[in-house]
Structure formats: C-alpha cells, structure tokens
Structure 1
Amino acid sequence: MNLHKVTKIAAIVISVLSLVFLGGLMASDDAANSSWITPLIYLSYVILIACIALVLIYVFKNLFSDKENIKKTFISIGLFFALILVSFIIADGTEVKSASNEIIASESTSKWVSTGLNMFYLLAVVAIGTMFWTGLNKIKK
C-alpha cells in the first residue's frame, strides 16, 4: 500500500472521528459540553503534531536528496539571516514612555519591534522588486 492510500484512509478516519465528536458536542446541553471539548482539543493537538511531523519528514527528505537543493537552501537561509542582521543594525532602540513617564517598552523591546518592522519593509521591497523584475522579463519575451 502506497503512502497516498494510507494518508487518504487516515484523513477519512480523522474526519469521521471529528464528526462524531462534533455531533456529540452539538447534541449535548451546555453543562455536558466540557466533557466533549477536551477530546476535541486533544484530537486537534494530535492532528497538528502529525501534520508538522509529515511536513518536516518530507522537507528534510527532499532537501537531502540533492546537493544542489542543500546549497540553494543554505544560501537562502544565509541571505535571510543577513537581512535580519541589517534590520537589527538599522533598528531604533529608544525607550517608549507614556505621558506620565511610565516605561511602556524597554530599549531591547523597542529594538526588536523596530527590527521586525524593518525586516517587513525590506522583504516587501524584495517582493515588489521580484514581481517587477519578472514582469519586465515577460514583457521582453
């Protein structure tokens, strides 16, 4: 049995269990809902963990199948960390105070928030530039 059939069967089983739990939740009154909520939460945790595990397995399987994939991945990760470093360097780390001189955000919190905003702006510029570049290349052809 191949993996596609196994995942299809697992999805059907999980769907049926979810429908049973949902039906039990909807059929019960408010006092009994707490007995149905806990199994639903645990089921969602199991599904989330299974999805994350499958994604990680296939990502690493495909990543290590070819040396070119590993090289491109490490270059991309290095560029991403370089953008984080540039964002951190240009970030402003001033303390934020309220009108009554209470500290709302410390210097380090302000620095990291500014880093996140700078990173967003840099990635937005890269995305817009990439779309512009591909559009120009399509026009040229």
Structure 2
Amino acid sequence: MGLHKLIKIIGLLLCVASIIFFVMILNMGDRAIEDSFLMGEEVASVTWALYVAYLILAIVVLFVLVFVLKGVFAGNVKKTLMSIGGFLLIGIISYVLASNSLDGLPLNDGKMITASASKWVGTGLYTFYILAVLAIVAMVFSGFKKLTSR
C-alpha cells in the first residue's frame, strides 16, 4: 500500500471521528456543556474531540516538517538558510523597535498586561507590518517588471 493511500485512509478515519464528536457535542447543547464544566465534570465528547484535534495537529505538523526538510535538502540549502536568516533579521528588528510600554487597555480580567507581553505583542505587530510592506513592494515590482518586459 502506497504512502498516499495510507494518508488518505488515516485522514478519512480522522474526519469521520471528528464528525461523530461534532454531532455529539451539538446534540448535548451549550447549556449542558457549560453546566458540566461549571460543576467540574468533563464532557466525554468534548474531551475526545480535543484529543482528535490534537492528533490531527500533531500529524499535520509532523508531515509539514518532514516534507519541508526533505525539500530543503533536495534543493538549494544556501537560499533556504538565507531566507530563514532574513526572517530572523526582521524579527530582531521588530523586537528592537517594539516598546514595552504598559499604557493601554486592561485585559478581560481587569489585570494589566506585563511589560514582556507588551514587548512581544509589539514585536508581532511590527513583524506583520514589515512583512506586509515587503509583500506589497514585491507585488508592485513583479507587476512593473512584467509590464516592462513585454
């Protein structure tokens, strides 16, 4: 049996299990699940649905890592390492630009955010902004290059 066929069978079984648990959760209703959690009880269908979700996540991450590493070593390792280095450089620049200011809205529970959390949120935002600008510039450059090459 080929790897593709095995992956399709496993995927189908996980889909069927997910659908069964989803229907079980829908049949229970929100109120019954909330009451069970408030009383400290576990709801079996929710617990097993989470286990299936964790299993699917682990399988997807494993396959992504395997095929990415396979592709990296089959292709040009130097270009891949340069791309990773560029992304890390953007992350470092974003971290330096981000402030750890505590000014802002409190969290949902009324507590204030920590300085470290504020710094990491700012880092994520700056990383997003830099990557978005780079993507827009790349699209404009690609379009301009395509227009001028005709």
TM range (shorter): 0.7 to 0.9
Q: Relative to structure 1, is the Cα distance of residues 125 and 3 closer, same or farther in structure 2, using a 3 angstrom cutoff?
A: same
Uncovered stretches (5+) of structure 1, i.e. residues with no partner: none
1:96–1:104 CA contact under 8 A, matched in 2: no
Q: Which residue of 2 aligns with 1:10?
A: 10
Q: Relative to structure 1, is the Cα distance of residues 45 and 79 closer, same or farther in structure 2, using a 3 angstrom cutoff?
A: same
1:96–1:110 CA contact under 8 A, matched in 2: no
Uncovered stretches (5+) of structure 2, i.e. residues with no partner: 37-41, 106-110
User: Equivalents in 2 of 1:136, 1:109: separation in Å?
Assistant: 41
Q: Which residue of 2 aligns with 1:116?
A: 124
Q: Which residue of 2 aligns with 1:88?
A: 95
User: Normalized against structure 2, the TM-score is what?
Assistant: 0.71
Q: Which residue of 1 aligns with 2:108?
A: none
After superposition, the C-alpha distances for 1:61-100 in whole angstroms (9 at most, x for unaligned) are 111123x1x11111011111222222233334445378xx
RMSD: 3.1
After superposition, the C-alpha distances for 1:93-125 in whole angstroms (9 at most, x for unaligned) are 445378xxxx94555444444333332222121
Give aligned pairs, total: 135
User: Equivalents in 2 of 1:114, 1:105: separation in Å?
Assistant: 12
2:43 match: secondary structure: helix
User: Normalized against structure 1, the TM-score is what?
Assistant: 0.75
Q: Which residue of 2 aligns with 1:60?
A: 69
User: Equivalents in 2 of 1:25, 1:104: separation in Å?
Assistant: 35
Are residue 127 (structure 1) and residue 135 (structure 2) matched?
yes
1:87–1:118 CA contact under 8 A, matched in 2: yes
Aligned match for 1:44, one of 53, 65, 72: 53
